[in-house]
Amino acid sequence: MTVAHKPRLTEELLNRLLATDKIDAYLNEEHIVDHDLTDYLRALLDTHDLKRAAVARESGLNATVVYDIFSGKSRPGRDHAIMLSIGLNCDLRETQRLLRLAGVSELWCKQRRDAIIIWCIEHGFDLAATDDELQRLGERPLLQSK
């Protein structure tokens, strides 16, 4: 499955899984495969027609860090994964999937800081605008001062 195809909702897949008599049929019919963070990041680059250098610039992350994440040499922490998603111009669904594949918790609207980040993503804010909004509302910014 590529990023360009709209994936089935998890709830729909769960209902299909619970209703099936044979796990093999479900796995084959739904084309269930393990997805890898690096493959997903490369697919997002293609989907959004971006270069890694632009992602590094827009995410506020060091270029070496971005290249290491894209090559699979390192995994991003939660804030770095969020920053990477902003640099990739991800929508909320893409951001949540990136966070899952990075092995960190998704954004949760019941947490104040996460709610602000979700709102910023939904409104197309870049990293600087997101950090401004976080600071304005008394929350820790994504890009920490050195």
Is 119 within the bounds of a domain?
yes
Is 6 within the bounds of a domain?
no
Is 94 within the bounds of a domain?
yes
Q: Residue 119: which CATH number?
A: 1.10.260.40
Per DSSP, the residues of 39-106 read HHHHHHHHHTT--HHHHHHHHT--HHHHHHHHHTS----HHHHHHHHHHTT--HHHHHHHHHHTTSPP
Q: Are 69 and 45 in contact (CB under 8 A)?
A: no
Is 28 within the bounds of a domain?
no
Please state, in angstroms and as integers, the Cα–Cα distance from residue 17 to each residue in 20, 32, 47, 50, following that order.
5, 11, 29, 36
Number of domains in the chain: 1
Model confidence over 40-65: pLDDT tens digits?
A: 999 999 999 999 999 999 999 999 99
Residue 1 scores a pLDDT above 50 = no
Name the residue with higher pLDDT: 105 or 6: 105
Is 17 within the bounds of a domain?
no
Domain that holds residue 45: 34-136
